[in-house]
Amino acid sequence: MSEEDPFSHLHDEDYASGFDSGRVGAADMVETGGRRAVSLDGTWKFTPDLYDEGLRQKWYLWTADPPEAWDWPRDYDAEAAFDMQVPSCWNLARPEWMYFEGSGWYARDIFAPPSLHGERTLLRIGAANYEARVFINGSFAGGHRGGSTPFFLDVTPHLRPGANRVLIQVENRRRRDRVPMHHTDWFNYGGLYREVALYVVPPIFIRRFTVSLKPGHTDRIIVSLRLSAPVDTEAEFEIPALGLSIPLTITGGEGRADIAAQPRLWSPEDPALYDVTLRCGADRLSERIGFRDIRADGERLLLNGRPLYLRGLCVHEDDELTGKTTDEADIRRRFEHARAMGANFLRLSHYPHHEMVGRIADEVGVMLWAEVPVYWAIDFTNPDTYADAENQLLELIARDANRASVIAWGVGNENADTDARYRFMSRLAEAARTADPTRLVAAACLINRERFAIEDRLADHLDLIGINEYFGWYEKGFDGLERLLANSRPGKPVVISEVGADALAGHRGRDDELFTEECQAEIFRRQLEVVDRAPYVQGFCPWLLYDYRTERRQTRFQRGWNRKGLIGEDKQTKKLAFDVLAKHYASRRDRNA
């Protein structure tokens, strides 16, 4: 909108062009361990924008003047907007926004932290679903797509002394070409739902820093780092508890070292962690890191050379009151329930969960499968969709590369085995393996329904084959499961990555009556009897820990919730099946870890 033509924006369908060039991704990720964050959490001003008027009319160019100072009428008044807490999901802020899908504008003034001697100021947004564009003092600072991974913007050029006006547009429309696409089985929350902060770093800073055991060795540590500029210099790497203080030569901004060491190995029984420090010039990072070796050996899984059975649970990041926004207390409750069941493993379905999950899992000794939302019928023929998926995967890997608890990167879930999907996901699997050769690559696959066998073509590119099956619930009886396991010998370890049945907490009845707790419990009993006889099945992962919100489910028992949780949506009420799994996992624990 302009003085010359106040109606031009009404007919402008090219209003979003020009912003893609400022999009950041995995290459812009920055390690934050030990850095001081200047939190921008708290109250922001929020304006819903169903018609994208903010971009059409260029709201980011308008100053925060009161109406009496306006030169012409406006459709945006940030100072009179709604108060919105960051982090939070806008869906739960007001009843009328529950199902809102579109754009929302966040506004607030910030005071830039003092920067000296060429220091840089980085803005980190923990997650914004799904696409975000950031404007500072009227200038476009950059954008990001992908609803569950963090991103970083160097906002130094846009800041000025004193107050700075920040506007962030977040847009959560479901679309065919996105990752995930428009058809999923979880709720489409919108907003700045994870933490937002500023970091001040030196002119040349440590961008990436990974520490792990050398693959196939338990007596050597690999350290790698990348600086923000291609300089030649030296860094200092320390693990005091191991007596290590090693100089690292950096050439062209890259450094790597292969170091002899004898760390105590991390495991669920002994989640040993070490304080690790890296210094380079004026920059310093610190982390708590565990060392473990995870690999597939034929049809077995080995953790630190010992056979491993994954006593698992699937979990969604969802809460009745806060939606996709979580905190430490909520995360620790998940682990307490998982350990009470005897689980040593969580599948973080179906997108990257909060980074605190990995840190707490390291501490309490629970292994994780972390995945990206390549879910159902992704637009597998679209190169831009692939670029989006790969970037989300590489951002996840960059964020969690130092988490010993993460043992597998999941590259997809329940995709039909088509040629386009095979090309897309095999390429994604190789991208994961190239970025991180220290972990397993996994996917939750479907079965061949003609032969009733496990033979997804993608398995050639996986280390761990996940199988989602719901015999006893969506498919009557267990004969099909018997046939499936008898017909299959995949030559690789298999985990039942989803299995379960809906039950409304407190609804009791016969064990053949749908949606009763008795029916859910009986299905798990029968499942475990059959699955336990398959030697290549190295894990069992029920769907899922808690009931969660999804508008696909609308029977009288569901009312917008998936009721397959072993605990109700209140995250307190345990269903009968919880004890069935707990008893089974206790028996498995006696056999191996």
- Exposure string over 193-232, b if 16+ CB within 10 A, otherwise e: bbbbbbbbbbebbbbbbbbbbbeeebeebbbbbbbbeeee
Question: Which pLDDT score is estimated for 593?
Answer: 44
Q: How confident is the model at residue 13 (pLDDT cuts 50, 70, 90)?
A: confident
Q: pLDDT at residue 50 above 90?
A: yes
Q: What structural domains and CATH numbers belong to the chain?
A: 8-201 (2.60.120.260), 206-292 (2.60.40.10), 295-591 (3.20.20.80)
Question: Which pLDDT score is estimated for 172?
Answer: 98
Radius of gyration of the chain (CA): 25
Mean pLDDT along residues 505-518: 98
Question: Which pLDDT score is estimated for 132?
Answer: 98
Residue from 85, 49, 334 nearest 194 by CA: 85
Q: pLDDT at residue 421 above 60?
A: yes
Residue 139 CB-half CA count within 13 A: 10
Identify the three-state secondary structure at position 368: strand
Separation CA 364–CA 405 (nearest Å): 9
Residue 489 CB-half CA count within 13 A: 1
Separation CA 279–CA 26 (nearest Å): 23
Separation CA 374–CA 380 (nearest Å): 9
Separation CA 557–CA 516 (nearest Å): 10
Tokens for 103? Answer: 């754009």
Q: How confident is the model at residue 418 (pLDDT cuts 50, 70, 90)?
A: very high
Mean pLDDT along residues 439-446: 96
For the chain, percent of residues with pLDDT exceeding 70: 99
Q: Other C-beta atoms within 10 Å of 484: how many? A: 22
Mean pLDDT along residues 408-414: 97
Question: Which pLDDT score is estimated for 156?
Answer: 96
φ and ψ at residue 366, rounded to 5 degrees: -125, 130
Q: pLDDT at residue 251 above 70?
A: yes
Q: pLDDT at residue 333 above 90?
A: yes
Q: How confident is the model at residue 355 (pLDDT cuts 50, 70, 90)?
A: very high
Question: Which pLDDT score is estimated for 345?
Answer: 98
Q: How confident is the model at residue 297 (pLDDT cuts 50, 70, 90)?
A: very high
Mean pLDDT along residues 171-190: 97
| H or E segment and range at residue 433 | helix 419-435
Average model confidence (pLDDT) across the chain? 96
Q: pLDDT at residue 3 above 70?
A: no
Separation CA 373–CA 324 (nearest Å): 15
Separation CA 41–CA 192 (nearest Å): 10
Question: Which pLDDT score is estimated for 10?
Answer: 75
For the chain, percent of residues with pLDDT exceeding 90: 91
Question: Which pLDDT score is estimated for 590?
Answer: 61
For residue 85, the Cα-to-chain-centroid distance in whole angstroms is 22
Q: pLDDT at residue 344 above 90?
A: yes
Question: Which pLDDT score is estimated for 117?
Answer: 82
For residue 319, the Cα-to-chain-centroid distance in whole angstroms is 16
Mean pLDDT along residues 235-252: 98
The answer for residues whose C-beta is within 8 angstroms of residue 321's C-beta and 6 or more apart is 92
DSSP string, 243-287: TEEEEEEEETTEEEEEEE--PPPP-SS----EEEEEEETTEEEEE
Question: Which pLDDT score is estimated for 591?
Answer: 64
Q: Is the dihedral of CA 426, 429, 431, 437 positive or negative?
A: negative
Q: pLDDT at residue 195 above 70?
A: yes
Q: How confident is the model at residue 592 (pLDDT cuts 50, 70, 90)?
A: low
Give 178: exposed, middle or buried? Use CB within 10 Å, 0-12, 13-18, 19+: buried
Q: How confident is the model at residue 2 (pLDDT cuts 50, 70, 90)?
A: low
Higher pLDDT, 10 or 120: 120
Q: Which of 13-22, 85-94, 375-384 has the lowest mean pLDDT?
A: 13-22
Q: Is-above-0.75 flag for pTM?
A: yes
Q: pLDDT at residue 64 above 90?
A: no
